[in-house]
Amino acid sequence: MSETLWDQLIYIVILLLKIVAVVVPLILTVAYYTYMERKVIGYMQLRRGPNRIGPAGLFQPFADVLKLLLKEIVLPANANKFLFVLAPVLSLAPAFAAWVVIPFNDWMVIADIDAGLLYLLAMSSIGVYGLIIAGWASNSKYAFLGSIRSCAQMVSYEIAMGFALVGVLILSGSLNLTEIVLAQQGGLLDWFWLPLLPLFVVYIISGLAETNRAPFDVAEGESEIVAGFHVEYAGAAFAVFFLAEYANMILISALTAILFAGGWLSPFEGLWLVGDTFLGQGSIFWFLLKTVFFMYLFLWWRATYPRYRYDQIMRLGWKVFVPITMGWVLVAAVFSVFGLVVRGS
């Protein structure tokens, strides 16, 4: 080891600063995502949504946070105290940890690791622990039912999701997210959503199911099991679950943007007139725009579709999505072998 302890310390401090630079905006985004949700769904249902606190209700998220933080955390008498407290943390940690490998543009990434995609899969797969433990530790039937439902659902949809990602890595030839984005260069029609259209659709829908969002929100299904796994949680503990859920939604949106919609690349790349301007250059703004678009889709679907029945969710995952993705992985392999999709053209 040639480095001194001092070098290592500086390295760690810089790393921490980078993490803060990602996490703080993320939390703010979550806050305003809830505002966006209420506004968007409000307008879709011919209501105004929150409009009292601040101009156009813009301070509403802060009011909500304040309210949640000031409330008492109720520990149920027969709950397993330690796990009950641990569960929200366990569900939040992977949701944040996954952001380490997300490239915001060609240099803005905390850890540019080779097996980035695998890391993401690993992080999203351990997010389920928070839910299971919350359901079990609450010692409540509703909570337990909710956690069992979400656990089965997440494990099932992870398979379809994993296969969808296999298609992406066949075409890009890399597990590194930056390289995956660079492999999509060339404008709107060169992004992977087109050659991998079935996988793209499956991925987005599985993303909905992974995050337990409507129409796959049977894990919390208010009308059936009250609020599912977090029925016993209140105050700050509940807020943490809430934060994790929305962070996960933003993560899935960002991932969809990176894997299927060219990440930070511009859709106008190489086009006449605009191709040479700022619009034609890849930049973080395109990435954010795409992410917000997919975030909006989450809300749109919530306002549109009624909740799926539980057995149908399982059926859809195993009998429809898994075969489709397996089949399209073969097609993607054919594309790749015969050079029908050229990397980074």
Who's near 71: CB < 8 A, 6+ residues apart? 234, 235, 236
CA–CA separation, 304 and 254 (whole Å) = 22
144 lies in the site for other proteins, by CB under 8 A: yes
Q: 248 and 99 in contact (C-beta within 8 Å)? A: no
Indicate the residue among 79 and 299 with the shorter CB distance to other proteins: 79
**Residue position matching structure tokens 């054919």:** 334
Amino acid code (one letter) for 219 = A
Does residue 128 belong to the site contacting other proteins (CB under 8 A)? yes
Q: Does 1 bind other proteins (CB under 8 A)?
A: yes
- One symbol per residue from 252 to 291: x for binding other proteins (CB under 8 A), - otherwise; what is it? ----------------------------------------
Question: Of 22-30, 145-153, 202-210, 290-298, which segment contacts other proteins by CB under 8 A?
Answer: 145-153
Smallest gap from residue 131 Cβ to other proteins (A): 10
- Return phi, psi of residue 84, to 5°: -60, -40
User: In whole angstroms, how close is the CB of 299 to other proteins at the nearest point?
Assistant: 28
- Tokens 């709950």 label which residue? 79
Do the Cβ atoms of 35 and 50 come closer than 8 Å? yes
Report 309-328 residues binding other proteins (CB under 8 A). Answer: 311-312, 315
What single-letter amino acid sits at 70?
L
What is the rounded CA–CA span in Å between residue 68 and residue 19?
A: 25
Which lies closer to other proteins via its Cβ, residue 169 or residue 239? 169
The reply to whether 132 sits near other proteins by the rule CB under 8 A is yes
Closer to other proteins by Cβ: residue 296 or 318: 318
Closest distance between other proteins and the C-beta of residue 125, in Å?
Answer: 3
Cβ atoms of residues 188 and 267 within 8 Å: yes
**Total number of residues that touch other proteins (CB under 8 A):** 28
Pair of tokens at residue 78? 């027969």
Is 55 or 306 the residue whose CB approaches other proteins more closely? 306
Interface positions, 164-203, toward other proteins (CB under 8 A): 175
- Nearest alpha carbon to residue 168 among 112, 126, 122, 116: 116
Of 135 and 267, CB closest to other proteins? 135
Q: Applying CB under 8 A, which of residues 42, 53, 68, 125 lies at the interface with other proteins?
A: 125
173 versus 270: smaller Cβ distance to other proteins? 173
Kindly list the distances between the CA atom of residue 263 and the CA atoms of 137, 184, 187, 290, in Å, as whole numbers in the listed order. 39, 9, 11, 8
